[in-house]
Amino acid sequence: MAAALIGFDTVWKSYGQGEAKVHALAGVDLTIKRGEFVAIMGPSGSGKSTAMNIIGCLDTPTAGTYSFMGIDAGRLDRNRRALLRNLYIGFVFQGYNLLPRTTAAENVELPLIYRGAPARERRELAMQALAEVGLVGREHHTPAELSGGQQQRVAIARAIVTTPTLLVADEPTGNLDTARTHEIMELLTRLNRELGLTIAMVTHEADVAEYAERTIRFLDGHVASDSSKLEVA
Amino acid sequence: MIWETVRLSLRSIRRNVLRSFLTLLGIVIGVAAVIAMLTIGSGTTAKVKSDIAKLGSNLLVVRSGRPAGTGGPGGLDQAVRPLADKDVAALVAHLTGARAISPASQKQVRVIFGTESLTSGVTGTDSAYLDARDWKLVSGRRFSDSETRSGTGVCLIGETVRQQFFGAGEPEGEIIRVNRTSCKIIGLLEPKGYTGFGQDQDNVVLMPLAAYQRRIAGNRDIDNIYVAADDRTPTTELQPRVEDILRDTRRITPDREDDFSIRDMTQIADAMASATTTMTGMLGAVAGVSLLVGGIGIMNIMLVSVTERTREIGIRLAIGAHEKHILIQFLVEATVLSLLGGIIGILIGLALAGLASATLTIPFAPSPAVILLAVGFSALIGMVFGFFPALRGARLDPIDALRHE
């Protein structure tokens, strides 16, 4: 297995001051290697969302070190982290978070715009990504004209159009029915296997977590359990 | 990238057509007002200048009565001695540096031809009047010396009088009635148009002074003496000479003030032109304030827009937009919005100015510099008032922004 992609070294994340101080993460140590498909679980308030935000370089630890691709990402400023996200991280959210009244293709092109890619290249890459998630023929539909499952596919296409190293998925199936959930999870599994995409996924559904090869459970700001299918098998 | 952003902003402006339009309105009104004011103002200034030039360049006008306040209409004081033939004679005999000296008296009189009638400005004068006022004849001839001396019933008419009585026909040789006296038309004056005060300068009849005094005024008074300076003599030099000669011939002792006034039309022209320019500037400034109000409108709507699109900003930030990308996006949107308003405002302003020019018969004088300035200024307003909302959007925390409903 390749080197560590993500490393938490006694990471603390605290909110508030003095008496009201809350530790969302209390000295977490964690390593995720390249190519892994990790499910992150835990009750609300367990620190899993905070951990995801730090993994996705959206947030920084209060104390401790977060390294991403060997970079001390926790010490980078806003714009450097934005660059890091743009180059190496794709995001899939529970609520799809597509731009309204904007076609599927344009939504997928968005991260490439911030990369300064020329229009033609953007179009081509967007088409490829949409084909990858099985949305050929829907390129010019706006989110309102697409079903929930299709919208989430557009969001996944947007996440992978930059060929990222890491895909961060926050409850990617939270708004979907069982059949759609299965389809989306199949898609993520395929992307993990075929493209070697590292996936970190927050979920509270055990059957969704089943698709991942490793499950990390958070509780009260600590890692409560960390189990790998390979070890179990 | 910039083009992309402009396209994006146009789309978001289109998405809220009504709101964008209402926002624009402030800028549109502001720019339209400024453009209309400045364009009408510069037209008026040009008109005033050309009016005074039409009156005769380098012209001094002597009237009886004490000088009123500078630039005011030196009112005729009843108790005051009117100007007389001997004053004119003295000027003709002694004044140097004058191109033309001409006495004139005028009155509004009913003029009749056939069944048509018209109230016209009838002036009694001599041939030098045409020289003093730079007035040419379209056809016909001037008064002869004998006609001037004897006060023959001949006259020159203006374009308005000709149109009223003769339409397309030939006026020369026809006899018109001026206040119960007959008068033969011997020439047609070149059209001068309206003055800035809406007075028709072509609704005139000129006749020899002696004829006017005897048949119309019924006295020997002279209302004005026109003195035109020659090319080498500035009016400011000529004025004291005229004053000296008149004080002398009217026997005004040094301890007494003038009982006549001399108005320098060049100075009046300059004063009026500068007054119009000042007025234009003031009106423009007032109109400029409405631009400021328009700018605040833009800021307001951009703040709403940023709040409304917090989630969108969150998405953009999450997938790798820099602060500057968000900043530029909203700045461009505000700028495009106000620039759009500026352009519409310029068109409306020019249309208004054009309309005003047509109704007030002043020249339509749009200034490219003013238009360019308006475009630049409206863009600047967008940038300045769009900056704060844009910065607020750019500074959002992506995590909070994504959570925003």
Q: What's the pLDDT score for residue B41?
A: 86
Least confident of A107-111, A123-127, B37-41, B182-186: B37-41
The span from the CA of B336 to the CA of B14, in Å, is 12
Q: Are A150 and A176 in contact (CB under 8 A)?
A: no
* CA of A50 vs chain B CAs: smallest distance (Å): 10
Strand order in the sheet with A166-170: A89-92, A166-170, A198-202, A37-41, A214-219, A222-228
- From chain B, pick out residues whose CB is under 8 angstroms from the CB of A158: 319
Q: What's the pLDDT score for residue A232?
A: 47
Q: Assign residue B401 a region: left if phi > 0, alpha if psi is -120 to 50, beta otherwise? A: alpha
Is residue B51 predicted with pLDDT exceeding 80?
no
ipTM: 0.90
The residues in A 108-167 lying below 8 A from B, measured between CB atoms, are 110-111, 113-116, 158, 162
Q: What's the pLDDT score for residue B82?
A: 87
Flag if A82 and B322 touch (Cβ within 8 Å).
Answer: yes
Q: Two tokens at A227?
A: 């189990």
Least confident of B42-51, B94-103, B201-210: B42-51
Cα dihedral angle (B27, B32, B33, B36), rounded to 10 degrees? 160
- How does pLDDT run across A165-223, given as a tens digit for each residue? 999 999 999 888 999 999 999 999 999 999 899 999 999 899 999 999 999 999 999 99
- From chain A, pick out residues whose CB is under 8 angstroms from the CB of B317: 82
Closest residue to B320, CB basis, from A93, A98, A114: A114
The single residue listed with the structure tokens 């009223």 is: B164
Is residue B149 predicted with pLDDT exceeding 80?
yes
Average pLDDT estimate for B21-38: 88
The span from the CA of B208 to the CA of B142, in Å, is 10
Flag if A58 and B399 touch (Cβ within 8 Å).
Answer: yes
Establish if A76 touches chain B: CB-CB under 8 angstroms.
no
Flag if B311 and A79 touch (Cβ within 8 Å).
Answer: no
Q: Two tokens at B356?
A: 């005003």
Q: Choose from A13, A52, A80, A91 for mutation: most chain B CBs within 10 A.
A: A91
Closest residue to B319, CB basis, from A53, A79, A91: A91
The single residue listed with the structure tokens 């109704």 is: B359
- From chain B, pick out residues whose CB is under 8 angstroms from the CB of A164: none
User: What value does the mean pLDDT of chain A take?
Assistant: 91
Selected residue with higher pLDDT from B361 and B323: B323
Flag if A85 and B320 touch (Cβ within 8 Å).
Answer: yes
Give the pLDDT band of residue B377 (cuts 50, 70, 90): confident
% of chain B residues with pLDDT over 70: 94
Q: Which residue of B has its CA nearest to A164?
A: B319
- From chain B, pick out residues whose CB is under 8 angstroms from the CB of A58: 318, 398-399
- How does pLDDT run across B197-254, given as a tens digit for each residue? 677 889 999 999 999 999 898 888 899 999 998 888 888 889 899 999 999 998 888 8
Flag if A79 and B399 touch (Cβ within 8 Å).
Answer: no
Q: Is A78 exposed, middle or buried (0-12, 13-18, 19+ CB in 10 A)?
A: middle
The span from the CA of B143 to the CA of B146, in Å, is 8
- From chain A, pick out residues whose CB is under 8 angstroms from the CB of B310: none
The span from the CA of A9 to the CA of A27, in Å, is 8
What chain A holds in terms of domains, given with CATH numbers, is: 35-47+79-232 (3.40.50.300)
Least confident of A150-154, B79-83, B90-94, B147-151: B79-83
Q: What's the pLDDT score for residue B105?
A: 93
Selected residue with higher pLDDT from B69 and A13: A13
Closest residue to B319, CB basis, from A53, A86, A116: A86
> Which of A113, A64, A55 is closest to A88 using CA atoms?
A55
- How does pLDDT run across B294-344, given as a tens digit for each residue? 888 888 888 888 898 898 999 999 988 999 999 999 999 889 888 999 999
Is residue A114 predicted with pLDDT exceeding 60?
yes
Q: Which residue of A has its CA nearest to B322?
A: A79
- From chain A, pick out residues whose CB is under 8 angstroms from the CB of B325: 114
Across the A/B interface, how many CB contacts are shorter than 8 Å?
A: 54
User: What value does the mean pLDDT of chain B take?
Assistant: 86
Cα dihedral angle (A112, A115, A119, A124), rounded to 10 degrees? -40
Q: Choose from B17, B305, B315, B319 for mutation: most chain A CBs within 10 A.
A: B319
Q: What's the pLDDT score for residue B59?
A: 87
Flag if A53 and B399 touch (Cβ within 8 Å).
Answer: yes
| CA dihedral for B229, B230, B235, B236, sign (positive or negative) | negative
Q: Two tokens at B170?
A: 């030939």
Question: If interface means Cβ-Cβ distance under 8 Å, which residues of chain B face chain A?
Answer: 1, 4, 15, 311-312, 314-325, 398-399, 402
Q: What's the pLDDT score for residue A233?
A: 42
